Every structure is written in structure tokens, then in C-alpha cells.
Amino acid sequence: MKKHSTEEDVYILAIESSCDETAAAVVKNGREVLSNVISSQIALHTLYGGVVPEIASRKHIEKINQVIQAALDEAGMTLEEITAIGVTYGPGLVGALLVGVAEAKAIAYAAKKPLVGVHHIEGHVSANFIEHPDLEPPFICLIVSGGHTHLVVVKDYGEFEIIGRTRDDAAGEAFDKVARAVGLGYPGGPKVDKAAREGDKNAIKFPRAKVEGAPYDFSFSGLKSAVLNHINHANMMGEEIHVPDLAASFQHAVVGVLVDHAVEAAKEFGYDKLAIAGGVASNSALREGMKEACGKAGITFYYPSPVFCTDNAAMIGVAAYYEYINGARSGWDLNAVPNLKLGER
């Protein structure tokens, strides 16, 4: 495992703009967050029932300089004291990513600082390092967000082996679609989670898909269709839908599959450390289910605080630090890669 070779402190100024949060942070030596500033656009996109890429890009342009200055101020640092600039370059919305990448390149060029492009999903995994000083690779990580559902072996800092992935919808995407169908609105994940707390998770039995020949892959489109069919049937019969029961039953089906796959993988591959990451990692039922299953299996369970689960720049700063000390540098030709796969450069 490569380690920081010098005694000098490394300060990363990190920028994240992959979707609808404009964020900047200063991270010291990969583990200590000196500032983490997030400008959210949720209220704006709620009007449209989801993220509008063009609006997101424009808002990033408006906010990015203020957010970066606020992050430096909160950390009590100047740009001269920063070691390197880290930035998300993919995956995400292309226009949104371009704002962050262009800003990072401009700052790095003007301040004569190294530039480090960061994979957004690697950032999510790295969020676990912020609050768990004892967590070091290798370990298993379940990454669950609006766009991704991956089960990976984190072999080393920045080195991943994907052992399971979704064949269709990501878990977060299914949450958003179900939330929209029952009138809970956007963002779907937190609203389904909240409604589910008032409901009976065993009220409706929804299917849990298994992918033949790929025990750690996920499929949520059948579950989503089953929920929509249940709603349509109830509407046709003039029956009232009890939203908390539906939300709890749907969430129970999703969480059951996520927990089973992750814990089984940890046992089969021989890892006693399991982490979760991504926006859906802040889901209360997933956290509780994982805690319980890991406790029974003798696996140590790690998870970030909710603020580090959703898109933020602190996690990007952590990932950038480990890339930086391993010698990774990006050129001035760094570009946004909206469909960047995990493990790709």
C-alpha cells in the first residue's frame, strides 16, 4: 500500500459539480476535513420533479466562485497554501461537470498547482475514510446512489474490483420513480424513507429479483413495475392506497436485496469489513438492516454521516489526496466524462 512519503502536510482544494450540488472543500492529509461547503439546488429542481441539466449547469456557474471562496475562508487558508486542486470529472451531467472541471483547471493554472481529476464514485467510497480513521483497504463496499448500484472490493486506495452491478435501474432511481408515482415528489429517496417509518414493511409482498449466473448483480426494474402495477390496480378498483405501507414494503424489498448481496459477498470473499456509500447510504432502513446483518455475521460495518453520503466535495478531496500521493496528475486536456466507468481513467 502506497503511503504519503514526506512529512509535509498535503492540503487539497476539492470541487464537486456532477449533478445539482455546487460544492467545495479543503481536506488535510486525506482524512481531516477543514471545510465542506455545499450549495444545493434541490428547492429549484423540486419545481420540475427532478434535475433539469441546463438549469443545474447555469446555477453551478453562478455559485462556484462563492462556494470555493467560502471553503477557503472556512478552512482559514489561502490558495497559496493549497497543495493541489482535486475535481470530479465524471460520471455525471456533462454540462454540470464541465463547470467544475473548467474552474479547477483555471485555478490550478493560475495558482501553479497540480490538478487531480477524481472519479465521482471513488469519491463516494472515500467518504468512509473521513470519520473512520481505522478503516483502510481492503474491504467490501456497496455503492448505492441515484445513478449507480455497485458492489466492489476496494483493494487499495483508488483500486477497485467490481463484483456486482445493477442490470437496469439503480436503487436510487427506483426510489425516485416510486416516490413520483405515489405523489411524494422529489427527491424521492428521503421522502420514501420518511413515509416508510409510518408504514408496515410486511403489508405488501413485492418481488426480489435474482440475476441468474451473477449472484451479486442487482435488478430493480421488476420491483419498480410491480409497485406501479399495484398502484394502477388499486386505482382501477377504486381502492385507496396507503402510501406509508407501500413505501415501507417497497423499501423493505430494496434493502433486503442490498443487504443480502453485500453480506454474502463479504463472507464469500473473506472480508470482515463492509462499507456503504452514495446517496442511498443515508437511508435509515438500509443502515439498520446492514448493522443487524453485519452484527450477526461478525463483520465490522462502516458508513458515512448523511452529509458525506450525498454529493459533497470533502469526499472528492479525500479521493484526490490518495490519487495525488500515488502520483496521479491530470493535464490541461482534462475533460468531463459523463459516462465514466469505475476503474476507468
Residue list, annotated binding site for substrate: 143-147, 176, 189, 193, 283
Give 203's DSSP letter: S
Look up residue 270 and give its three cell numbers: 473473506
Phi, psi of 219 (to 5 degrees): -145, 120
> How far, in Å, are 205, 209, 288 from residue 246 at the CA level?
10, 18, 19
Around 170, how many Cα atoms within 13 Å sit in the side-chain half-sphere? 19
Q: How many helices (H) does the chain have, and how many strands (E)?
A: 11, 10
Give exposure, 282-295, as e/b (b: 16+ Cβ within 10 Å): bbebbbebbeebbe
Look up residue 152 and give its three cell numbers: 466492489
Give 263's DSSP letter: H
Amino acid at 9: D
Which residue positions form the known binding site?
120, 124, 143-147, 176, 189, 193, 283, 311
Which residue positions form the known binding site for Fe cation?
120, 124, 311
Asked if residue 324 lies in contact with residue 86, where contact means CB atoms within 8 angstroms, the answer is: yes
User: Alpha helix locations (H) across the chain?
Assistant: 42-46, 53-75, 94-111, 120-131, 171-181, 188-196, 221-237, 243-269, 284-297, 306-309, 313-325
Asked if residue 51 lies in contact with residue 57, where contact means CB atoms within 8 angstroms, the answer is: no
* Helix or strand holding residue 140 (H, E): strand 139-144
Phi, psi of 182 (to 5 degrees): -100, 10
